[in-house]
Amino acid sequence: MGGVGEVDGVGGDALSRWVASRWFAMLGVVLVGYLVAGRGFAYLGVRPLFIGELTLAAGLATVLVLRRSWAAMGLTINLLIGAMLVWAAARTLPYLGTYGISAPRDAVALGYALLAVVVSAVVIEHPWLLRRALDWVRRAAPWVIVMLTGAVVLCTVAKGVIPEWPGTGIRVIDTKVGDPLVHVGGLAVLLMLGFTRLRGWLWALPLGGMFGVLGMMSRGAMLATLAAVGLATVFYPRSEWLPRALLIGLGVLTVVIVVDPVVTLPGRERQVSVEQAVQNVVSIVGDSNTGDLSGTKSWRLDWWEKIVGYTFGGDYFWTGKGFGVNLANVDGFQVFEDESLRSPHNAAMTVLARAGVPGLAMWSAVHLVWLGMMIGLYRRARLAGQEAWARLAVALVAYWLALHVHAAFDVYFEGPMGGFWVWSVMGLGVGAAWVQRCHPEVLRDEEVLDEAVQRGALAGGHQR
């Protein structure tokens, strides 16, 4: 990978290159930190400047030294993001006096969109960073799988041994049940599409194991993983990893059915068992006989129906209820004694309730325009015979889809664990679409993809 800095002939001065590459590396470390340690990593820092806020601030400072940042700022999607952020600010500032820090804290669900602008600007200024990012993915994938597996084991069976951040009650490694599954799906897609050098069955085992165990606990995250892998399979059904995943899944399922373990989760009616896994699947499309599942499903649907009622059909159509108010309290759906629940378990409903129909329209427009950009990237790459670019488009959309599916069932984009990931993926996609048009030589199949994929691409094109 030597010399990637000169591959495009575009890169600005030495200061810009140095600052951009360091921030890009910083962002990569932060994303892995959120992936592995979850909320525990988010508390790294000193209140109110935690690692996420520091990384975003450093990114905004990085944009200031870029000579071609105008190229990114003028893109339609970044203009839409700018409009969305202005609207979010308008629905936040009036509530600062009443709710204090809670107002901007709630608004970060939209505020993290700045990451997409920064990432796209950095990649457009320095296209070689896109190839370096894929090189980092290839090198880091095995370590990330090992660390994620260890974190899941610790948080599910030995959480008591994990130390806490002083005075917070938050453990240093503190992942929610469903969050790791999103990245299990994303990592599986990267393996399927040839963006790693991992070989053999060994690396598929921890991913399959985490899916089998965590999927019994979280139906939304289980669906997120299936959505990501399913999308990649539609476009690349001949992936070497697909039969491996199926065989491992069947093997794990056979063992689980034979052993039939039943584990009661602390403080919850739901159990980890074969029957529970079946109920998870059934409850996605219909009613479940398990009280915990049916209760949470009806609770979500009732809350979402109320939000639609007072926005589309009520007094909050234009404005929403603003950022700062505890929606669970004022809407009558609070379930915790400490009133820690603030937003509905759905990112789009959070935006609708707080920013009204205009906010939801802007949010939807941003994501739909991005999806259109990825479809365009894929079609251009297919027509040009650029296998690496085509697979990158599918990988980005698959990861984006997994993140969105999980955010449709949980409070995810409202915090940095999900917010940083979805907007970073989108920013990388925006940058990739621009670079593919202007500097397609940045990604060459033989330098980016796994050897088996290279042989298929160089011998005759696409596997479909």
The single-letter DSSP state of residue 52 is: H
pLDDT per residue as tens digits for the range 4-29? 444 444 445 888 899 999 999 999 99
Residue 35 · residue 175 · CB < 8 Å? no
Query: Tokens at residue 455, please?
Result: 């042989």
**Position of tokens 């996609």?**
429
DSSP 300-336: HHHHHHHHHHHHTTSTTTTT-S-SSS-HHHHTT----
**Amino acid identity at 303:** W
Amino acid letter for position 100: G
CA distance 282 to 289: 9
| Torsion region of 413: left, alpha or beta (phi above 0 gives left; psi -120 to 50 gives alpha) | alpha
Give which of 270, 275, 272 is closest to 294, Cα–Cα: 270
Q: How far is CA 111 from the centre of its chain?
A: 15
Helices (H), 215-317: 219-235, 241-259, 274-285, 291-311
With residue 156 as reference, give the H or E element that holds it: helix 128-157
pTM of the full structure: 0.88
Largest CA distance in the chain: 65
Q: What is the distance between the alpha carbons of residues 165 and 168, in angstroms, rounded to a whole number?
A: 6
> What is the per-residue pLDDT across 135-167, written as a single tens digit (0 to 9) for each?
999 999 989 999 999 998 888 877 888 999 988
* CA atoms within 13 A of residue 75's CA, in its CB half-sphere: 25
Q: One digit per residue, pLDDT tens: the chain, 464 residues?
A: 444 444 444 445 888 899 999 999 999 999 999 999 999 999 998 877 899 999 999 999 999 998 878 888 889 999 999 999 999 999 999 999 999 999 999 999 999 999 999 999 999 999 999 999 999 999 999 899 999 999 988 888 778 889 999 888 889 999 887 899 899 989 989 988 888 877 656 677 788 778 777 776 777 788 888 899 889 988 988 766 666 665 665 565 566 555 555 555 444 445 555 555 555 554 444 444 444 444 477 888 899 999 999 999 999 999 999 999 999 999 999 888 888 889 998 999 999 999 999 999 999 999 999 999 999 999 999 999 999 999 999 999 999 999 999 999 889 999 999 999 999 999 999 999 999 999 999 998 888 887 666 666 544 444 44
* Distance in angstroms (rounded) separating the CA atoms of residues 356 and 322: 8
Structure tokens at 446: 């033989």
